[in-house]
Amino acid sequence: MSDDLKKGLEGVIVAESELSVIDGDAGKLVYRGYTIEDLAKGASYEEVLYLLWHGHLPNRDELSEFKQAMVAARDVDDDVISTVRQLAEADENPMAALRTAVSMLSAFDPAPEDAEPTDETVNLETGRRITAKIPTIIAAFTRIRDGKEPVEPRNDLDHAANFLYMLNGEEPDDVLADVFDQALVLHADHGLNASTFSAITTASTLSDVHSAVTSAIGTLKGPLHGGANQDVMEMLKEVDDAESDPLDWVKNALDEGRRVSGFGHRVYNVKDPRAKILGERSKELGEAAGTLKWYEMSTTIEDYLMEEKGLAPNVDFYSASTYYQMGIPIDIYTPIFAMSRVGGWVAHVFEYIEDNRLIRPRARYVGKSPDETEFVPLDER
């Protein structure tokens, strides 16, 4: 490999952004100048969406209007739900089902067909509709797959609480709604990761917002980008089912050459700040449930890997036990990631096409030259 080749575009600057910045050495994540700690503590997911899409935190009137618009867009066309039903009954992968359904949403979107692809107002409204409908799709798919009927969205619940209501058929208590809302805030954006880059690459061709989000979902479906929190929870359940001491388990796993999910990150060299916040919430949920089993198991594994291997946990490590204690099925953890990150995808699409340039990288050819080959007609081969 040549010294100037950046495999996977690692470290290559391809755009400028005002949306989020990561300091991997200090363990800092900032959205538009606000630390993730301040936003997680004081802002709702809807406020963070507004911040990412409009450039500032909303006042009460702006937030009220924005939330009303989000609520009005939650319903999903019956034909899309019918397709979701077919996918669920066919036991389709949840991320593949979400990808298909989001793509199908475009057929029923009220955006003008002759709208310019760079029309800010149209794109904002389209992005808002997609973001509002994704929770409805995920909840419907999950319930149908489990032999239940979808639950209609409620107009009196916030984005996070409404999803839990549609998923479980009952209104969540304030603690669960708050924890889930905070998790959505933490996952809303994270720089130019693989799925976000897919979204802006698609948008750079002047394609539509539905195509950009569909591209991002398809990228997130890959296990090298999404799915780590699902892997973490399956790992923790393996430890619990085997009735193993978590310290002994992690030592044996490393001796066997197994990778421990939820540790290490392409960007962070220290503990992911989002993991710190979700770790605290995981502990709170455990205390409320009367057992700290999952939290203590996680901290035992974390402490050992930090001390012995210098590996710090990422956001997936504690989102796993947090979601599990909320009763969320393990295989929809990645769709929930998409449910949150769509806010960042849409924001980056808006930002990039303001000063658009087609993303068209090149590859260095290392194959044979014409001097090394001789064309032979078909009948002579």
Closest CA to 309 of 245, 258, 244: 258
**Distance between CA 279 and CA 271 in Å, rounded?**
11
**Distance between CA 95 and CA 99 in Å, rounded?**
6
**Distance between CA 58 and CA 63 in Å, rounded?**
5
Catalytic residues, by residue number, are: 265, 316
